[in-house]
Chains A and B, each alone.
Chain A
Amino acid sequence: MSVLVKGITKAFKPGTNIISDLTGEFRGGEISVLLGPSGCGKTTTLRCIAGLETPTDGEITIDGRVVYSSRQAVSLPPEKRDIGMVFQSYAIWPHMTVHENVMLPLRAHGVPRDRARARVDDTLKLVGLDGLGERNATQLSGGQQQRVAIARCLVHHPKVILLDEPLSNLDASLRISMRGELRDLQRRIDATMIFVTHDQEEAMSIADEIFLFHAGQIEQHDRPQNLYMKPRTRYVAEFLGKANLIPSKIRNQGDAAELVSARTGETIAKGRFDTSNWTADEGIGMVRPEAWRLDAGSSPSLSGRVGTVTFLGDRIELQVETPIGAQRVVVLSPRRIAVGDAVTLSVSAEHVHMIGGT
């Protein structure tokens, strides 16, 4: 039940492509998250899949069925695509009760009334809304409306469920608990979900696979952990989490290779490095803030001085001035560190990830 998007281009005005030549496969039974900064075309992509926008070019396949193809001149309207969608505003129909809201997709698909009624009750139970069926849908709380929207899109067992920032209208704590519920629900019904968000934490916690968008294209897609640990480009490294990006070179080869700063020549780490991302013999060494170690005595190491200290409860964030530039460091252990302290930074070779470019 996967969704295949091939070479999709969309322009609202001729000449300005909002998404251009976008290709990707959103696997069945998984949550695929479309992540990216505001205005990069996530919603547009989702709406193209739903059939609410018509692409200018390309092909979209849902579960093996071509729903849009510019070449074959196919463009199914949304109601023929057998999808469910949760809108950012929930789009709960205000003139209907909860029950009627959830019932409507079944009626639209011609399910007989008594069968439909049972299905609605089951679905409401599934999302934890049993007993609220006769409520007027607009009298519900934000979280409950959210559940109605989800129930409404699950009820006729669509092949694919599309969600456009479904949690962004909820308050912080509800957002986190709904994340878990959504995840559980997806596991239970084994649904294919495509989920849009611009919140990277939300993306990493809910996704099976993240599709990171950049200016209307997919920059990189992978499992969240891989994407975090092994970004292919500087953009990905900087978008997900925090990263120290050090322009570097490799001296020597093999197991005893040395990573040195391209600017000052200081040795940063020693060991085996994977430089397959590098196109030249120079590139960027990425060190996540939590990968730096502060113990003295390891070699090689960088001497530095603590510039700023930010206490964040469970961890401390430091800015350490070193010969190769300021480094962001996170320490978890409760230690006393003050501005101006002299420290040594070291990192093992396996925790340095190599990115092409400068």
Chain B
Amino acid sequence: MDIAATRSTRSTRSADVRHSTLFTFLFAVIIVTVVIPLCFVFFDGLFKIENHRLTVMLQYFEQVMGNRRYWVALTNTAVVALGATVVAVLLGVALAWLLVRTNTPGAALVENLAVIPIFIPPFVGAFAWILLAAPRIGIFNLISRMLGFGEPVDIYTHLGMAFVIGIYLAPYVLMIVASALRSMDPSLEEAGQVSGMSVARTAMTITLPVVAPAIFSSAILTFVITIGLFGTPVLLGWSKQILLITSRIYLEWQDVPPAYGVIAVLSIYLVIFSGAAMLLQHWLLKGRSFVTVTGKGYRPRILQLGNARFLACGAAWTYLTLAVFAPLAVVVAAAMFTYTWSGNFTWANILFLWTSNDVAETLKNSLLITVLAATTTTTFGIFVAWVTCRTTLRGRHLLEFLVLLPASVPGIAFGIGVAFFWLRVPIGIYGTIWIIVLAYLGRYASYAVGTISSSLVQVHPELEESARICGYGWLKTLSQITLPLVRPSIVSSWVLLYSIFITELSMVTILHTTETRTFSILTFNTWYNGRFANVASLSLLQLLLGVAVMFVVRASAKRLGPGE
């Protein structure tokens, strides 16, 4: 009896030791990939080491504050981000309501197709919209000019940017609001009507306030994403020099030597901007989540639209056309001409993908980085998810918080931090693909942790405990019991990261060198040099690598696993 007791205490203790070793390791990874890079952003903007003493230095802040062009960048960022948020929220809420709460024909199909815009790389979306609506070369303007109406649209404006960003972010709003509408108890509205309110008044007094927190969160999400966007604002803002903070950072980074202090301050702007938005959300929504996810499936009340339902259907497909079909078509078409809309058909741009050394080289880099980073990040995510869901170790909440932190830090600012850090550490990380892998890991670990732990919390701990009682060690339990049970979430985490990394531009823009150029950088540079026909074919390949691969893996994962 006694012996058994001591033995069991000892083995529990050694398990604890193993857990804390793992925990320490995970913490170290987070310190290196997240905490130090973020510190460096602030450090370089605010501090200086003089004679071995740390001194606060406001010189760069003064420099940025005193210069009009940075104020313009700040205003542009605010205007475009607000505009994009308004567009995305209006579109997303309207679509969600039409698809979930009315008898719009083919709603399920539209809802499935409406996630596609999320997976179209921002660069590609923006490029397609240049082909559609830029002055002189945009299809809309070409046609309208031919018909004698002049040039009605110009995508190279604040409004154009807000519109393009908005339509590509609308699906986030759609998904969040649709799920809120679905999990809202329909009798809340019925009670409103029975109490004597008309359908319209019920919608305003009951439905809207109840889903308002969801709408608000999705608005904040859109806003934060827009602030950090790099590809779209640069592509659409370049021609009229409407520069946002991200574009400014990029420009400063191109200077030789770069003004590190100014870049750091601009990055701090970005962090403060999105941090403020997140705080606002936290503060306003405290305790106001009305839609409780009870897991109870409600049958939503469907409003019978009559003939207006065809109008609704038309509106939904118009959205899909603007965000998916037209951009796709126009990119394909552009890739088939010798130069933009020359009318001379050619295979040259497609063949270029095969023959170009640049393409082969950058593609190799991209795939290598993506596979390495997606695998490392997912593995890291598994362990962090396990530690936070399954152990009671002190500090696991801090770990969770630190993992989540960079999710709201704009990519380009995070990349700046990573660059600053590894510039100072002369162990040969800077300038290799590893710096990119580490940056991806730090910035996107929360995606892996989120996906995997949401599935892990559904696996009852008793399933693991019974394996332990049967004599499995914790590592064996993890690999034999837990991981197989959450396998679908591991697959979807990997695929999600793959699709982000393969076309990532904001961070590699900062972190790449000539040897470690990725495919997205090649595409970007090709655009910068004005070779639009080649950009079109490169964009097609980006879509193929990102969207298509993701759909294939998803479809096969659905067949393999027991679902997400």
Contacts and interface: CB of A to CB of B under 8 A. Distances in A.
Chain A CB within 10 A, most for which of B195, B205, B209, B210: B195
A51 B191 CA distance: 12
Contacts of A61: none
B201 interface: yes
A87 B187 contact: yes
Interface in A77-115: 77-79, 81-85, 87-89, 91, 93-95, 104-105, 108-109
Interface in A28-72: 50-52
Given A89-B185, A95-B290, A84 B209 contact: no
Q: Interface residues of B toward A: which range?
A: 20 to 34
B109 interface: no
A240 to B, nearest CB: 29
B57 interface: no
B287 to A, nearest CB: 8
Contacts of B201: 108
Contacts of B477: none
B210 A83 contact: no
B191 A93 contact: yes
A78 B194 contact: yes
Contacts of A93: 188, 191-192, 206, 210
Contacts of B199: 77
Contacts of A77: 193, 198-199
A31 to B, nearest CB: 19
B536 to A, nearest CB: 49
Interface in B184-216: 185, 187-188, 190-199, 201, 205-206, 209-210, 212
B187 A104 contact: no
B402 to A, nearest CB: 33
Contacts of A10: none
B182 to A, nearest CB: 15
A50 B195 CA distance: 11
A87 B190 contact: yes
B290 A85 contact: no
Given A95-B209, A108-B201, A156 B196 contact: yes
A77 B197 CA distance: 10
Contacts of A89: 185, 187
B190 A108 contact: no
A152 interface: yes
A87 B191 contact: yes
Nearest to B184: A94
Contact of B194 (A84, A88, A94, A138): A84
A166 to B, nearest CB: 12
B191 A91 contact: yes
Given A104-B205, A108-B201, A91 B196 contact: no
B180 to A, nearest CB: 12
B210 A94 contact: yes
Contacts of A109: 196
Contacts of A88: 187
Contacts of A81: 194
Chain A CB within 10 A, most for which of B187, B191, B197, B198: B191
B103 to A, nearest CB: 14
A94 B194 CA distance: 17
Nearest to A87: B187
A84 B206 CA distance: 17
Report, nearest first, the 5 A-B pairs whose CB atoms are least far apart.
A108-B196, A105-B195, A91-B191, A91-B187, A94-B290
6 contacts: A50-B194, A83-B194, A88-B187, A89-B185, A104-B205, A152-B191
Given A85-B194, A153-B194, 8 more contacts: A87-B191, A95-B210, A95-B212, A95-B290, A108-B195, A108-B197, A152-B191, A156-B196
